[in-house]
Structure 1
Amino acid sequence: MLMVPKSSKQWSRYMKGASAMYAYHIAQDGGVVTILSPPPPSRFNPFGGSNYQTLEEPILKGELGPSVLKIEIVHPEIHDAQDFRYQLWPKDEKHLWYNKFGRPSVDTHWRHVVASRSLL
Structure 2
Amino acid sequence: MEKDFIIIKVSWRTRRIRNYDATEENAKTLVYFKALINFLQNNELTTRVILPDNGIVTDETCIRKSDLTEFGYQLFAKKHFDKWVDAIFDRGKDPTDVKALKKALQKIVSSQ
Q: Which has the higher contact order (CA 8 A, sep 6+)?
A: 2
TM-score, structure 2 length as denominator?
0.28
Larger % of strand: which?
A: 1
> Highest Rg: 1 or 2?
1
TM-score, structure 1 length as denominator?
0.27
Larger % of helix: which?
A: 2
